[in-house]
Amino acid sequence: MEVIDLAWWKLGLAALLILALAATSHLSRLGITRSLLTAAVRTVIQLALIALVLEALFASSAFYWIALMALIMLLVAGREVVARQGRKLKGWWAFGIGTGAMFVSSFTVTVLALIVVIGPDPWYAPQYAIPLLGMMLGNNLTGVSLALDRLNESAWRQRLVIENRLMLGQTWQQALEDIRRDAMRSGMMPSINAMAAAGIVSLPGMMTGQILAGSSPAVAVKYQILVMLIITAGTGFGAVMAVSWGSRRLFDERERLRLDRLVKP
């Protein structure tokens, strides 16, 4: 089946819905009109630019260009992790811990899926590698940022409880055990909910896109199952690593709680 192209003026008709929503929010004094319009404009510009970049990348297929694109995606995702935290570690720690966790989890799982499961030739073929990595980083970003935000905020709110546990002789791992477990659960929950609702409540984006592009539903479903499984695995491992590294940073070498290392929101 031939894919139906969309003219830009037709996308403009869809944009009228955003303008209507912006007008409604302005009249209702919701305070989100400017951010809504800014986000819509950024979406159009960013996606139009990335389309040009991907077309050039697909035409080249050189490994170093793909690696550079992956690095840029990782760094931007790391910045977004920092931006989404209320209380975050001072200095480069907030960026480094979040970016490091996403790098290890997202890149490891993506490379494993490309080489072992999909098997394109070459294994870094951009039409497979870049979309998979983008979905991994996007979901991992949410999981890691939620986990770190919950960790830091809970440690701040329960600082007296943590210090009392330390005075009673518990190690920093024991004193922070409940908070760490809750933070990891918060980071994993969006991916778990997405898996539980897939196919019944919602049709995931990749599956929908493949069907619109003419792929058979059976093939689209297989790819969607793969994507959701690796996204959940990557997000889970990323949240676990980020919480483990971030919680260690909250204590010094003598296992004293150091909340002065957090930036006030």
CA distance 17 to 23: 10
Q: How many helices (H) and strands (E) does the chain have?
A: 11, 2
What pTM was computed for the model?
0.83
Share of the chain above pLDDT 90, in %: 56
Position 1 scores a pLDDT of: 57
Domain boundaries, the chain: 1-60, 62-263
Average model confidence (pLDDT) for the chain? 89
CA distance 77 to 134: 10
Q: What is the pLDDT of residues 49-73, one digit of tens each?
A: 988 888 888 888 889 999 999 999 9
Q: What is the pLDDT of residues 83-108, one digit of tens each?
A: 888 888 888 998 999 999 999 999 99
Q: Residues with Cβ < 8 Å from 125, sequence gap 6 or more?
A: 61
Structural contact between residues 123 and 221, judged by C-beta atoms closer than 8 angstroms = no
Structural contact between residues 245 and 205, judged by C-beta atoms closer than 8 angstroms = no
Q: Residues with Cβ < 8 Å from 28, sequence gap 6 or more?
A: none
Position 2 scores a pLDDT of: 62
Return the structure tokens found at 110: 């993506």
* pLDDT confidence bin for 27, thresholds 50/70/90: very high
Q: Residues with Cβ < 8 Å from 176, sequence gap 6 or more?
A: 155, 162, 247, 250
